[in-house]
Copies of this chain bind each other. A is one copy, B any other.
């Protein structure tokens, strides 16, 4: 069995240190050889053209960093029985006023002026009055008293900002339905930090005179950054006058997907608009978009009163997205003529997805 072991060891060693190689047949025929090299060349060309050019396998990517500011313009005159003649300007109907990437334009209001902290009957429910009880959907905290609300109905008295808001009737047509003629200027600056690339949506060829008069139109003015509210809502497939009643959310999508292989002038933003909230009435709680805010006053006796405003309107969310891709730099180096950004990129970045780097030589040979 020592013999057996010795045999076994020798086989193992043979296995470990034996060198296996293919038996090769070399044909010294120029025709066959040329054909062979031609096939090799075609594989390289395939990889270069298909993988790099069409598929762009060997690319580096970066996500967009964006900054948005917005500025709405327009005035509306309303004439209601409660408030009389009232002109609405930007500081009144754009909330918040700062012009950030999400801005709300008031289209319909239910004002409740003269509210003070006091007690009043809650009209909604006639359930048992429990002191200190708060109905989640009610308007205040119950005092425990049951008072005459109308000739026929007795309801709970509540501690609240009284008189209570009555929001059962929504003004129709919407009070500020003319808001569809308002315009908004959207300024958007983007950068792709990895490639040291910066651009803004006010393109180079746009001058101040043009900007003073243009409004965005997909066909005639596709690069004008001034948008008519009504136009955006229409492009999103909605009817402004319907949407103005109960409000909603419109997304202004700015697509900065670019291929940095091409000259910088080809990297232009594409705008699209879509309704982001759900308008279908089925299984929808609280359809539309509204919120309540208040303006606080103090009267002569230093008692705080407020005007509660239930604000219906359209929230516009500017959503900037994009992924930039840089080119195959071995193969495509030649096509980079006017790209001065290219020089600034570090080579290491272009190698980050290492598998592709390895894949190419492996496939070729």
Interface residue? A159 (CB, 8 A): yes
Residue A334 at the chain B interface, CB threshold 8 Å? no
User: Which B residues are in CB contact (< 8 Å) with A278?
Assistant: 187, 189, 200, 202
Q: Is A90 close to B, CB under 8 A?
A: yes
Q: Which residues of B contact A21 (CB under 8 A)?
A: 24-25, 27
| In-complex Cβ contact of A87 among B56, B67, B160, B185 (8 A) | B160
Contact A193 B253 (CB under 8 A): yes
| B136→A55 contact, CB < 8 A | no
Task: Specify which chain B residues have a CB less than 8 angstroms from the CB of A276 in the assembled complex.
Answer: 67, 189
CA distance A240 to B351 in the complex (A): 40
Known contacts A249-B69, A284-B202; is-contact A98 B104 (Cβ 8 Å): yes
Residues of B within 8 A of A138 (CB): 75
Stretch from A168-176, A290-298, A335-343 forming part of the interface with B: A290-298
Instruction: Flag if B187 contacts A277 (CB, 8 Å).
Output: yes
Q: Which 4 A-B pairs have the closest CB atoms?
A: A55-B354, A17-B33, A57-B354, A67-B276
Shortest CB-to-CB span from A87 to chain B, Å, is 5
Q: How many Å lie between the Cα of A13 and that of B34 in the bound state?
A: 10
- A86 within 8 A of partner (CB): yes
Residues of B within 8 A of A30 (CB): 13, 17
A167 vs B92: C-alpha distance when bound (angstroms): 18
Q: A34-B17, A286-B71, A317-B67 are in contact. Are A87 and B355 (CB under 8 A)?
A: no
Distance in Å from the Cβ of A279 to the closest Cβ of chain B? 11
Q: B359 to A294, Cβ gap below 8 A?
A: no
Besides A50-B354, A99-B289, A189-B276, 5 new A-B residue pairs in contact (Cβ under 8 A), listed by A number: A22-B24, A77-B140, A85-B159, A200-B278, A355-B359
Binds B, one of A1-9, A149-157, A207-215: A207-215
Are B286 and A141 in contact, CB atoms less than 8 angstroms apart? no
Q: What's the least CB distance linking A217 to chain B, in Å?
A: 16
User: Which applies to chain A's interface (DSSP): helix, strand, loop or mixed?
Assistant: mixed
- Which residues of A, 83-128, contact B by the 8 Å Cβ criterion? 85-87, 89-92, 95-100, 102, 104, 117
Residues of the B chain whose Cβ atoms lie less than 8 Å from the Cβ of A319: 65, 67
Contact of A283 with B25 at beta-carbon distance under 8 Å, contacts A200-B278, A362-B363 already known = no
The answer to whether B24 touches A20 (Cβ under 8 A) is yes
Bound-state CA distance A74–B140 (Å) is 8
Chain B residues contacting A13 (CB-CB under 8 Å) are 30
16 contacting pairs across A/B (C-beta < 8 A)? A21-B27, A58-B355, A67-B277, A67-B319, A73-B136, A74-B136, A75-B141, A75-B160, A77-B134, A89-B140, A90-B292, A100-B102, A187-B286, A193-B321, A202-B283, A298-B305
**Nearest CB in chain B: distance from A213 CB, A:** 10
> How distant is the Cα of A356 from the Cα of B355 in the complex, in angstroms?
6
| Contact of A25 with B17 in the complex, beta carbons under 8 Å | no
Instruction: Known contacts A23-B22, A283-B204, A297-B296; decide if A308 and B87 are in contact (CB<8 Å).
Output: no
A56 touches B136 (CB 8 A): no
Q: Mark A192-223, 1 if CB is under 8 A from B, else 0.
A: 01000000101010111001100000000000
**Least CB distance, A211 to chain B, in whole angstroms:** 4
Nearest to A325 among chain B residues (CB) is: B352
Interface string of A24-40 (1 = CB under 8 A from B): 11111110111111000
Q: Contacts A141-B75, A293-B91: A16 and B28 contacting too (C-beta < 8 A)?
A: no
**Cross-chain contact of A137 among B73, B87, B181, B193 (Cβ < 8 A):** B73
